[in-house]
A and B are shown apart, each in its own frame.
Chain A
């Protein structure tokens, strides 16, 4: 094949670490390992950076989703590969489909005409909190110099009556809010102060100051929702705190049947993160920021960081098998599609790989890694494109977050649905258009799609191409003006957690709004890989600690 010939040979052929896939966890590991002085080879079978964390044009997104979903297709390297050396066994790798139930609809041709003007996130909706781990890591690694951010203008939460109300997320937001009653303002801010008092008291434990303000250990271990009840907060305020600030997925009022009960301790941490984010950077008006050109900029920034530190990059380079020592079963290296064999001490792979057949007894250890990467859950994601904003009456609002707490759209809605609207000022779509990302954690595709459709029905109107029901459309339009849906892509993504074995498997994008859980997992994997190295050690400079606090460090366009 002509293609095979175009694969460039890689020199040298031995590295400390080979990383396959350029998603955010892999890129961070590659950058951190390079910074720690390791020789790193970073490969990606795709022509673009970011793997499952990338931002793509409309067409690329469509073909990537299709290529990664379970269509009956033939693996190009089906024939079992033989290692060149008899002491080495080769385990063939195939792509495992992470996406299913892909459903792409186009209602307007103008969208695909502008395909290249879109930067659509595969793992949306996703934002950064100004004080979260991703921002800290960007600053620590100095990868922040490659990304620019803008703040998300506002966030809304759906109340019990289907109305979207502003999320009063800080003292000044509570003050400004026009919909809360005075009593609610008082309750909400009192609760913020209670939490703040607790955090300050915890910080000064031992000094004897304010220890009375510490929330009791018993309360901290209780479900957060019970603590909110104990504080006599009404349902509306509870819902704001749980779903729009602490960003909880599952219905916390479901009692025993709730899958993931948030403890008070964690709830308070999330509230603290949110509040630390508000006002961390003077240019960012709220708690949330988004990278210009899309989330795909983040893995790229870490890759550039890694490249500066000497990491070697080869894109469009599939790995066809993992090479193992036949006797010991230890990892040895990889075989590339070009036929070249590269050896390394360690291997990190993104979770879209698996092996075809069960290997012999001696190789069980490695295969366990692939077995361990079992699907732990499902996530329904949707991308929608419109020509108007959710809040056309607010010209300053081009980006916003909308939260539909459990049961707010339909009675058996079990999880929160989060929607992120982004405008062209973030360079993710042509001007005059808006991109919406929707996600909901779900048990199965059916439930997930139901959530997506419910949110879409509530947000958008659909113009069908036929004129048959134009009278009906007119009627709808006259009562409330909803943005008309031009294009949508709905898909269900498998959630796979990272795993540490003889080779390392990184996690898939999770269902959270920010990267905190992913980055914690990544950092843990790195520590297991290199227990003696720190993930981006502080630069030994006297004013480095001040620099972190420096306002100008993260570039936020206002």
Chain B
């Protein structure tokens, strides 16, 4: 139950609990004896039932009951088999034991599970179940076990979703501060929508009413989060593009590149699988290339990713030609590309570019240290051809048709915006602000006509809302900061004029074949997250120093990146650098002055592949490392990030994890390393 203070135990209580413990111990030893000897007699079951009544959390006892149940059902005599009452009595006994256990503790996982298990065996009536549920849901309306069980019973008894939806309405009317009820509502509406039940399909039919329903909750008590959480679901239902879609690619359509080997990047709006020879065609001079292999830029076991990569070498055989090769990449069978939810792409797309052959300049002989200091840059002359470079990259990179939003969606969002503006006019509340910020962004995204620049009408207001939230609700500061960063980046990357302000030109002395001509400098902007990658696929040199980044998730899409400055950020572990694994072009990396190794407990570590993880292939090379120095096993996380990279220049000082031994490990790991922390290696 909620909101009940805990009382400290009195001596009387303690005495009682000691007695209870003694009782449980004795029952437990008898039970384990029976369990061990596979004794499933009535007496043995009674001992077990008593034990469960004392301690409903004892999983072994429940498992024993399952074994006994199966044993007794299958070993019954012929005469008993004919007697359906016999089976019924066994089932009823199980249900009775569960019910007693639930009366003792209605949040017992084992008991609820056992009940489901018994009922799913059939052989029993489910009449009692709804009555039992009503009892438990009255006792604690927010008991998620009961809600969970309710869904199970509704499925078993074929209770209509509409009827269950009405039940959630009643529960919410009783007390709208009930996550479980709102959640079940979203589940039921999704079912109804999926089954295209009349009155619930298409979704605009119910969305409007649901917005009004939940508005009553949010406006009555803007500090209550349960309704707001449902509002988030509604908003997601409203703005969600129902299918995966290509949002950006590289090389740009209509561009001309002068490299013989180059990456091709497909960036989707959500992780997809199925990008391969059959679904995507690559044509060079109208000949379909048969040997392209696409790989996702992520290491999860589902073989899917938001960004997909292949490398092309043009021309395939003949050299010394000055011809420009036309390359066309198009969707061959978009339905084969499917999202994690199993929704296929349905839109065709294609882009074409020219490749003029020139021999790649070998990077040899460049031993100069590349610095990203202020003195190495000059601002871009608006009239220079740099502007043209940016223009060609920028305008074309995102020229894909996006699904146009329906009118009802924009109307719905616009009316919600008006409502939340009104709410904020009476009350300063964080949920109102956050919701308004999200609505405004959704609104802008909806009325974006992708042929021109994205709609940024409300971006200043949204940024203002997030800054206010950071002050209003310091507990969730980081969350608002991340949102702020993403919105800010969206704004900056929305037009080439605004992006131009963050682009710098390298002075001539630099190694342009490594850094490219232009460096994108998002330094000292107090960013905590990086985003808007779909507009940055062309970037070769990126300065993110002096920010508050704690993650670089998504950065792997920038396959051209060769120069990356992440110094003076808040990266706490090598795990946070995981996207670097995919950035094979990376030559210059600065991760100095972060917090790597400074926090002994790394809460993100579990998210990452470990040497034991099945997502990481067995690596013989690491074994070699490990045997040469037993301490090196401690660097497996750094190894898993860096092992495939060919870094020439690395700055890593100013991190707690860096010591002499680690430096030696790095030198060994990067044979091509020329500069380490500003010192030239020999």
A residues near B, CB below 8 A? 171-172, 174-176, 182-183, 185-187, 189-190, 193, 282
Contacts and interface: CB of A to CB of B under 8 A. Distances in A.
B176 A172 contact: yes
A282 B138 contact: yes
B422 A183 contact: yes
A187 B426 contact: yes
B76 interface: no
B175 interface: yes
B627 interface: no
Contact of A183 (B172, B176, B223, B426): B426
A175 B138 contact: no
B215 A193 contact: no
B427 A186 contact: yes
Contacts of B324: none
Contact of A175 (B217, B419, B422, B427): B217
B77 interface: no
Contact of B173 (A176, A187, A189): A176
Contacts of A183: 219, 422, 426
B362 interface: no
A190 B174 contact: no
Given A182-B215, A186-B220, A187-B426, 4 more contacts: A175-B216, A185-B216, A185-B220, A186-B423
Contacts of A186: 219-220, 222, 423, 426-427
A541 B171 CA distance: 37
Contacts of B176: 171-172, 175
Contacts of B222: 186
A174 B177 CA distance: 13
B219 A185 contact: yes
B221 interface: yes
Given A172-B174, A172-B175, A175-B173, A189 B220 contact: yes
Rank and list the top 8 A-B pairs by shortest CB-CB distance, nearest first: A182-B219, A185-B220, A189-B220, A175-B220, A174-B220, A175-B176, A175-B216, A186-B219
Contacts of B215: 182
Nearest to A168: B220
A6 to B, nearest CB: 55
Contacts of B217: 175
Nearest to A188: B220
A199 to B, nearest CB: 14
A190 B174 CA distance: 19
Nearest to A177: B216
A92 B76 CA distance: 90
18 contacts: A171-B176, A171-B177, A172-B174, A172-B176, A175-B173, A175-B216, A175-B217, A175-B220, A176-B173, A176-B216, A182-B423, A185-B216, A185-B220, A186-B219, A186-B220, A186-B423, A189-B220, A193-B223
Interface in B194-243: 215-217, 219-223
Chain B interface main SS type: helix
B170 to A, nearest CB: 11
A171 B221 contact: yes
Interface of B: 138, 172-177, 215-217, 219-223, 419, 422-423, 426-427
A185 B176 CA distance: 14
A193 B174 contact: no
A233 to B, nearest CB: 12
A190 B427 CA distance: 9
Contacts of B174: 172
A132 B173 CA distance: 25
B421 to A, nearest CB: 12
Given A186-B219, A186-B222, A172 B173 contact: yes
A173 to B, nearest CB: 9
Given A176-B173, A182-B419, A171 B220 contact: yes
Contacts of B173: 172, 175-176
Nearest to B425: A183
A185 B222 CA distance: 11
B129 to A, nearest CB: 21
B430 to A, nearest CB: 15
Contacts of B223: 193
A175 B173 CA distance: 7
Contacts of B427: 186, 190
A165 B596 CA distance: 63
Contacts of A189: 220-221
Q: Name which of B172, B217, B221 has the most chain A CB atoms within 10 A of its CB.
A: B221
Contact of A182 (B138, B175, B177, B422): B422
Nearest to B432: A186
A176 B216 CA distance: 7
A176 B138 CA distance: 19
B3 to A, nearest CB: 11
A356 B215 CA distance: 68
A434 B176 CA distance: 34
A103 B121 CA distance: 73
Nearest to B222: A186
A282 B426 CA distance: 34
Contacts of A172: 173-176
B7 to A, nearest CB: 11
A399 B215 CA distance: 30
Contacts of B221: 171, 189, 193
A140 B221 CA distance: 36
Nearest to B419: A182
Nearest to A182: B219
Contacts of B219: 182-183, 185-186
A189 B217 CA distance: 11
A473 B219 CA distance: 45
A489 to B, nearest CB: 39
A169 to B, nearest CB: 13
Contacts of A193: 221, 223
A502 to B, nearest CB: 49
Nearest to B217: A175
Contacts of B138: 282
Contacts of A174: 220
Contacts of A175: 172-173, 176, 216-217, 220
Nearest to B139: A282
A193 B429 CA distance: 14
A38 B419 CA distance: 67
A175 B223 CA distance: 14
A182 B177 CA distance: 17
A171 B219 CA distance: 11
Contacts of B426: 183, 186-187
Nearest to A187: B426
Contacts of B220: 171, 174-175, 185-186, 189
Contacts of A182: 215-216, 219, 419, 422-423
A187 B222 CA distance: 11
A154 to B, nearest CB: 14
Contacts of B423: 182, 186
Nearest to A176: B173
Nearest to A189: B220
Contacts of A190: 427
A175 B427 CA distance: 17
A243 B138 CA distance: 32
A248 to B, nearest CB: 24
